[in-house]
Structure 1
């Protein structure tokens, strides 16, 4: 007998083989997520490569960092609405909505460049963050149905897929700009046109092909497991199917954790009661804060000694190396997360962030050393992002998982926004070396938190 799944209220065609074969659904989900991460990563990166430069041209260096900050804030503020959409519609509805909001933001940025109206630029950047929201939420979709022993690797595959588009995109910014020059689109606005096209394509692929929805399927399996019913896909073993479904975990008090209660308040209560979840959120947020704070001002720093004729090319190379550090080795980071433990990889990521600040902050006008520093910065971000996200996802029950994940992305986004907002002022007042020093100092509290002993009952992912 065949069961029909529904995703977001729209019936999906029944799969005659076995619609609830967890490993098969997971493989298909990962493949689709990889494809959309490539498309969306290209769209996001090709625009933000020139975002700071466009902001500096329209409003001056002091506010240039606010363009990146607006995008980060937008991604943060969209995290909770998108998680609410996922509550009833699943990952498919939420991811597609985020991409389409990002596309609207790209259109507004182009209009702002044409009109020279700076407030419209910031509004567009705010909505453009929807592309980041979709990319970040995709990593959680990758572990909805993952086997517990492979959660780190599956999450890292979704992160890694962004590499293909994100690494090449900075080098495509200049050709994209030239390709639309004949249309009258102002300089530095052309890449955002391509961002819009990429976001719309990614949303279409998600809406059409992400069936069955991984989050809705995980809830369904968890409900069957909780009721004592045999989970579908039993060929893989009931315990494996139950774990892959993300069955609700026990709360610290030993009671069954979290029923259907949803929202920010429920997420805050869950995180308050689970030290492992707190560490996961803190690792993701602090890694992002340091990465954004240093990365966003690096193009401005490079502009101090490179001419306009070569600046985009140099920025493209440096940011490509940085993004390669963020994403290219993510599968290795995921494997280490599963083998060595979540906390060990978080600590390694923090060490790389400190090394990155030391190298970039003392590089002077040496482009090679800055490139090395930015590459280390990306590697440190990868460690805190992959291990922190994995630890967070497995520490909370499936009933509130999407809400806690939305809270994590909100916290991460606000941390990055703060870094981006302050970075322009710091570099203008005290310089790029001081910016790196402050970023390194910010890592110390998280380092102390990660070194603390975690109680055995919450050490499952550590």
Structure 2
């Protein structure tokens, strides 16, 4: 201990955001039970608010997910119909992906400032506006209207993805992955119903005297608008704002003068630019290994899944499979992605987020082996694509829960938004390169590349295991 006469060392004054980063530096833990719940997380009021938030988010995912599902199957048909050219068929997926990528960070920063209720409601409402423009493009055969409509419709994808984070805002550490997984599971219903709205939509279009394909987007628009209303009316109290309120209350000094000083500092921080908050979040990803691992896991999983899923129907068609078989295969893939997520969430909370995420990489490798060595066998390709979806579920659920666990609450929305933006951008690039790559090295070679893509995650995991506690 330094003597009283020794000069005090000079200490650089750090901002509170820097302090938050260092306070939450990731510990080397295996299971989420090793992290204690804060006292406020176990209170009856917070538990009730958490249950209400998860139910509301799940309901909005079911309803809004129907609209998202429409764009997957019918969006390309609408683009081709409006442009009268097959060249524009891929425009729908490109535009919706670009829309989702473009608003990932803005939606997160909106949540940072106004709460989850405001940002998610606004996201679904913007997507509904996109649906209105798409109906208009079908009537007027306007390509610019089609592009703008698809970009806005893509905001529904981003909103759908960010809803999972809202489910974990109030959750105790040992229930974070399970709460998040319930919202992911809810997407199953929309992903199944949405692609099958062509015929009901045709009936709606006939009644409203619209082009046949526009009817499905009328139904999608109604569903997305309803999701916005559900969240605006029933997502109360706002889970992110309530969590922040309790965390701030826990940190309040006891003395009145200190409390006033804290209020002055909080006011200054509230006026910080969103750019500054985002920069602090990026800095956190560079300095917090577990948050960085979660980031890499989510981005790699979405890229591997998108590249293989995009090219599997093409490969199956070349091997002589009919559209019915291709549809069943894709349905099995979606089943793997969403249907088992509550079990995956329970497992992640039970054995830990890190082991569950690594298990997802093992499942990806098994999927690549099956699909790559299938030699045209429909059954093996079906099994491989199912495992592809299951590996994505393990990686996304565990990675998302781990990202929230390893990030301070003040930085969480910005880091989550950055992760989703990176996930969508890199996956879009991967899907775009998958076609030329398959032409060059075949479907087996594409799966080998996908298997190699998970190696950085495994290397990162080994680094975390060897890192001292």
**TM-score category by the smaller chain?**
0.7 to 0.9
What is residue 409 of structure 1 aligned with on the other side? 420
Pairing of 1:170-249 with structure 2 (within 5 A): 170=195, 172-180=196-204, 182=206, 185-186=210-211, 188-227=213-252
What is residue 33 of structure 1 aligned with on the other side? 57
CA–CA distance in structure 2, aligned partners of residues 435 and 71 of structure 1: 24
What is residue 141 of structure 1 aligned with on the other side? 166
Question: Against the structure 1 CA distance between its residues 271 and 220, is the aligned structure 2 distance closer, same or farther, given a 3 Å change threshold?
Answer: same
What is residue 100 of structure 2 aligned with on the other side? 75
Question: Against the structure 1 CA distance between its residues 184 and 319, is the aligned structure 2 distance closer, same or farther, given a 3 Å change threshold?
Answer: farther
Question: Against the structure 1 CA distance between its residues 45 and 268, is the aligned structure 2 distance closer, same or farther, given a 3 Å change threshold?
Answer: same
- 1:167 equivalent to 2:167? Answer no
What is residue 301 of structure 2 aligned with on the other side? 287
Within the candidate set 73, 93, 114, 2:118 is matched to 93
- State the 1:439 CA deviation: 2.5
- State the 1:372 CA deviation: 2.1
In the TM superposition, what whole-angstrom CA distance separates every residue of 1:376-435 from its partner, at most 9, and x where no partner exists? 111011011011111110111111111111111111111122123333444566654444
Q: TM-score w.r.t. structure 1 length?
A: 0.79
Q: TM-score w.r.t. structure 2 length?
A: 0.78
Question: Against the structure 1 CA distance between its residues 400 and 379, is the aligned structure 2 distance closer, same or farther, given a 3 Å change threshold?
Answer: same
Gaps in structure 2 of 5+ consecutive residues: 1-42, 255-268
Would you say the 8 A contact 1:167–1:321 is kept in 2? no
What is residue 75 of structure 2 aligned with on the other side? 51
Question: Against the structure 1 CA distance between its residues 122 and 359, is the aligned structure 2 distance closer, same or farther, given a 3 Å change threshold?
Answer: farther
Would you say the 8 A contact 2:205–2:214 is kept in 1? no
Question: Against the structure 1 CA distance between its residues 21 and 345, is the aligned structure 2 distance closer, same or farther, given a 3 Å change threshold?
Answer: same
What secondary structure is seen at the aligned counterpart in 1 of 2:221?
helix
What secondary structure is seen at the aligned counterpart in 2 of 1:452?
helix
In the TM superposition, what whole-angstrom CA distance separates every residue of 1:299-320 from its partner, at most 9, and x where no partner exists? 444555779xx73x55543332
Pairing of 1:397-436 with structure 2 (within 5 A): 397-427=408-438, 431-436=442-447
CA–CA distance in structure 1, aligned partners of residues 411 and 58 of structure 2: 25
CA–CA distance in structure 1, aligned partners of residues 204 and 320 of structure 2: 24
The count of corresponding residues between Structure 1 and Structure 2 is 408
What is residue 310 of structure 2 aligned with on the other side? 296
CA–CA distance in structure 2, aligned partners of residues 56 and 445 of structure 1: 39
CA–CA distance in structure 1, aligned partners of residues 165 and 112 of structure 2: 14
CA–CA distance in structure 1, aligned partners of residues 213 and 441 of structure 2: 28
Would you say the 8 A contact 1:152–1:387 is kept in 2? yes
CA–CA distance in structure 2, aligned partners of residues 322 and 64 of structure 1: 23
- 1:393 equivalent to 2:418? Answer no
- 1:23 equivalent to 2:47? Answer yes
What is residue 264 of structure 1 aligned with on the other side? 278
Would you say the 8 A contact 2:285–2:292 is kept in 1? yes
CA–CA distance in structure 2, aligned partners of residues 392 and 34 of structure 1: 21
What is residue 15 of structure 1 aligned with on the other side? none
What secondary structure is seen at the aligned counterpart in 2 of 1:399?
coil
Question: Against the structure 1 CA distance between its residues 357 and 324, is the aligned structure 2 distance closer, same or farther, given a 3 Å change threshold?
Answer: same
What is residue 322 of structure 1 aligned with on the other side? 333
Question: Against the structure 1 CA distance between its residues 304 and 102, is the aligned structure 2 distance closer, same or farther, given a 3 Å change threshold?
Answer: farther
What secondary structure is seen at the aligned counterpart in 1 of 2:115?
helix
CA–CA distance in structure 2, aligned partners of residues 364 and 398 of structure 1: 49
- State the 1:288 CA deviation: 0.6
Within the candidate set 252, 266, 273, 2:287 is matched to 273
- State the 1:453 CA deviation: 2.6
Q: Which has the larger radius of gyration?
A: 2
Would you say the 8 A contact 2:201–2:218 is kept in 1? no
**Bigger shift: 214-223 or 188-197?**
188-197
Question: Against the structure 1 CA distance between its residues 151 and 123, is the aligned structure 2 distance closer, same or farther, given a 3 Å change threshold?
Answer: same
Would you say the 8 A contact 1:288–1:416 is kept in 2? yes
**Bigger shift: 344-353 or 121-130?**
121-130
CA–CA distance in structure 2, aligned partners of residues 67 and 279 of structure 1: 32
What is residue 351 of structure 1 aligned with on the other side? 362
Gaps in structure 1 of 5+ consecutive residues: 1-18, 230-258
Question: Against the structure 1 CA distance between its residues 293 and 147, is the aligned structure 2 distance closer, same or farther, given a 3 Å change threshold?
Answer: same
CA–CA distance in structure 1, aligned partners of residues 438 and 88 of structure 2: 11
CA–CA distance in structure 1, aligned partners of residues 235 and 52 of structure 2: 9
Within the candidate set 119, 127, 132, 2:152 is matched to 127
Question: Against the structure 1 CA distance between its residues 297 and 55, is the aligned structure 2 distance closer, same or farther, given a 3 Å change threshold?
Answer: farther
